[in-house]
């Protein structure tokens, strides 16, 4: 696991400045505190920071081929590298190390850019071909590892694992992208290829990028399988195959030359990973969780129950509200871009706690998006029935009653869910989903943004990722929203949160549910094996019914929630008032001071629950590059 950086000089342009590459690498030292390495020539500079996981003694990067004309820097893990290595040796390649990184240059010799199709793993890498004066960048299929890039006006091309490395270059502008700002306000994250800074981009998942002759081009090399006839299998047969595929995904992710553990929340996904790890490890497994004093947000009892059932060596840290509030001030150091997901805080605290004991941890990310685990999927079916009700009943009876529900600050309270439901139920499918999952709707943005700012970016540019999901399709609406979440919310929100939080603590995290062969299998199953009535993950529950307690399998989706609504009213009130003050907002020239003041007053007085809106604004204003 590493952080990578690099620079390519334009044809006939000024040579690469080695010190610039070294400075970029130093900005992401947290991603790799164990080692550093550079390949510096007048044409190209490659740099890396290494967190040693596999081949501790000879895995130093950059790594080249036999004659050194190919050089690679790599962030991530290739889980099938051993079989690939054996193939390469059989074809006559000479490999000097036992690392997964070295297989990349030799696969490139045989397959060129298509080497990515042979990789099972999480990765972002840069491979320089000296003979062709050509750079290849690639990112894993599901988006576990990040990669940013930009091109300067003189043609110099820069890339890095994190945006903060790019902005160390004095010629990289720190200019706000208003289109990205509007997307962030809606989704709570900035979807690739955009970033919050104009002219800087993210390589999307499952894409490669080629830099050659002073220009760059981007290509997709994989996508979720196209809709087709679902596999006609029984629940029992599908569950048996799912368990075997999950077992293999866990097995290959247990490969490491350093201590390894499991992040255990007590939900079915992380519990599944823990159970299969226990079956594969051949020794007592280390599991980790954190507990909260606020009971409606605390899952620690469930994690303890799973740990006791499996016989793991369980570690639990109790995190106080004061510790969590103190972490809010550290968020700017964790993130390149604003992220409106408050679960970043416990994810970071859990990562920090886990890193005291192990260097690698497996988690359950991806199960909800691939197996219909979110309550919103069932809510879409309710919405279709709701829309068929007479207008007088919806607008004259139900919606006024919902609006009068007393405001609660509890996690996923009934009033929060009911108000969110009626807010989006009448909208088209994709727009409805973004209202339920995101933050500021289009009308709310029209009120929040100053008129001259709102006029610069029309609504259709905000929702261009969503429009294809409102087009005619043979897929069930729920399946369409699962695909949207897998390629949008998961890759650009959830996995960004996990990567930044864990790497800030120098902890490598691995997600067995995101094994691309498993993803392809799950996409082939009919929706009826994932969602029945209001119950999701049907086939997973069947697959694990002999491995996990029935109480864990029957638990409803909880999530890694935080008492944000209460914090905004109490512990964070001084910070929020200062950060969102009218004077500051007037100087900034983006948001209406009066509209923000209204949100604050209504939330603090208990008239309304604006937790998502205010937290989204707070995270933007705490972002180090926000206009001041």
Supply the residues annotated as catalytic. 2
Phi and psi torsions of 436, nearest 5°: -70, -40
Contacts (Cβ under 8 Å, ≥6 apart) of 487? 205, 224
| DSSP-derived 3-state class of residue 260 | strand
Q: Alpha helix (H) ranges present in 129-172?
A: 163-166
Contacts (Cβ under 8 Å, ≥6 apart) of 616? 184, 185, 188, 338, 340, 439, 440
Question: How many CA atoms within 13 Å lie on the side-chain side of 148?
Answer: 26
Q: How far apart are CA 174 and CA 160, in angstroms?
A: 16
Q: How far apart are CA 372 and CA 484, in angstroms?
A: 12
* Terminal alpha carbon distance of the chain: 35
Task: For residue 38, list its beta bridge partners.
Answer: 47
DSSP letter (8 states) at residue 284: P
Q: Which two tokens stand for residue 520?
A: 């392809």
Contacts (Cβ under 8 Å, ≥6 apart) of 515? 79, 120, 245, 248, 249, 252
Phi and psi torsions of 362, nearest 5°: -95, 145
DSSP string, 38-61: EEE-SSEEEEEEE---S-TTT--S
Contacts (Cβ under 8 Å, ≥6 apart) of 323? 349
**Strands 200-202 vs 35-40: parallel, antiparallel or unpaired:** unpaired
Residue 327 CB burial class (10 angstroms; 0-12, 13-18, ≥19)? middle
Within 10 A of 114 (CB to CB), how many other CB atoms are there?
A: 12
CA of 144: how far to CAs of 135, 331, 487, 490, in Å? 21, 20, 11, 9
Q: Which two tokens stand for residue 125?
A: 């890498």
Q: Which two tokens stand for residue 289?
A: 């969780």
Q: Which two tokens stand for residue 224?
A: 């979720």
Q: How far apart are CA 544 and CA 512, in angstroms?
A: 15
Task: For residue 39, list its beta bridge partners.
Answer: 46
Q: How far apart are CA 620 and CA 616, in angstroms?
A: 6
Contacts (Cβ under 8 Å, ≥6 apart) of 211? 8, 134, 135, 137, 157
Strand ranges for 326-433 from DSSP E: 360-362
Residue 453 CB burial class (10 angstroms; 0-12, 13-18, ≥19)? middle
């Amino acid at each position: 696991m590493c952080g990578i950086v690099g620079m390519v000089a334009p044809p006939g342009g000024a040579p690469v400045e080695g010190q610039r590459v070294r400075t970029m690498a130093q900005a992401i030292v947290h991603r790799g505190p164990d080692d550093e390495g550079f390949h510096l020539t007048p044409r190209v500079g490659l740099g890396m920071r290494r967190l040693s996981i596999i081949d501790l003694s000879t895995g130093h990067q950059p790594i080249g081929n036999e004659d050194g004309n190919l050089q690679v820097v790599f962030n991530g893990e290739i889980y099938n590298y051993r079989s690939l290595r054996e193939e390469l040796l059989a074809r006559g390649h000479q490999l000097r190390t036992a690392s997964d990184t070295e297989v990349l240059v030799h696969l490139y010799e045989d397959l060129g850019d298509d080497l990515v199709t042979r990789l099972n793993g999480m990765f972002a890498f840069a491979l320089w071909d000296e003979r062709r004066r050509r750079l290849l960048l690639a990112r894993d299929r599901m988006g576990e590892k990040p990669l940013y890039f930009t091109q300067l006006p003189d043609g110099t091309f820069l890339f890095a694992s994190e945006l903060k490395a790019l902005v160390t270059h004095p010629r990289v502008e720190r200019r706000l992208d208003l289109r990205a700002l509007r997307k962030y306000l809606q989704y709570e994250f900035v979807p690739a290829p955009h970033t919050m800074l104009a002219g800087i981009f993210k390589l999307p998942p499952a894409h490669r990028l080629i830099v050659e002759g002073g220009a760059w081009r981007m290509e997709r090399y994989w996508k979720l399988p196209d809709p087709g006839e679902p596999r006609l299998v029984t629940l029992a047969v599908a569950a048996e195959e799912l368990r075997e595929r999950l077992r293999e995904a866990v097995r290959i992710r247990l490969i490491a030359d350093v201590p390894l553990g499991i992040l255990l929340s007590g939900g079915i996904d992380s519990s599944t990973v823990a159970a299969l790890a226990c079956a594969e490890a051949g020794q007592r497994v280390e599991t980790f969780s954190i507990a909260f004093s606020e009971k409606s947000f605390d899952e620690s009892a469930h994690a303890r129950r799973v740990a006791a059932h499996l016989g793991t060596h369980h570690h639990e840290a109790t995190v106080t509200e004061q510790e969590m509030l103190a972490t809010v001030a550290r968020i700017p150091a964790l993130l390149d871009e604003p992220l409106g997901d408050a679960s970043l805080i416990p994810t970071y605290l859990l990562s920090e706690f886990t890193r005291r004991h192990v260097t690698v941890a497996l988690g359950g990310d991806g199960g909800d998006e691939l197996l219909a685990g979110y309550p919103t999927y069932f809510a879409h079916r309710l919405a279709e029935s709701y829309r068929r009700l007479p207008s007088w009943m919806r607008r004259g009876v139900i919606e006024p009653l919902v609006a009068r529900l007393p405001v609660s600050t509890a996690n996923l309270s009934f009033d929060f869910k009911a108000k969110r439901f009626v807010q989006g139920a009448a909208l088209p499918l994709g727009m409805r989903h973004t209202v339920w999952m995101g933050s500021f709707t289009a009308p709310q943005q029209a009120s929040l943004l100053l008129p001259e700012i709102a006029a610069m970016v029309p609504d259709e540019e905000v929702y261009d990722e969503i429009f294809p999901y409102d087009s005619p399709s043979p897929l069930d609406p729920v399946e369409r929203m699962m695909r949207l979440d897998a390629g949008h919310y998961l890759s650009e929100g959830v996995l960004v949160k996990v990567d930044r939080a864990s790497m800030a603590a120098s902890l490598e995290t691995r997600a067995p549910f995101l094994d691309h062969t498993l993803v392809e299998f799950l996409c082939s199953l009919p929706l009826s094996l994932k969602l029945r009535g209001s119950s999701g993950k049907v086939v997973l529950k069947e697959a694990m019914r002999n491995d996990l307690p029935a109480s864990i399998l029957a638990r409803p989706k909880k999530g890694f929630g935080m008492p944000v609504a209460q914090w905004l009213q109490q512990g964070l009130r001084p910070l929020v008032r200062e950060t969102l003050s009218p004077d500051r907002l007037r100087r900034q020239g983006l948001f209406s001071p009066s509209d923000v003041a209204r949100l604050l007053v209504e939330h603090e007085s208990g008239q309304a629950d604006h937790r998502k809106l205010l937290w989204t604004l707070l995270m933007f204003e705490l972002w180090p590059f926000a206009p001041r």
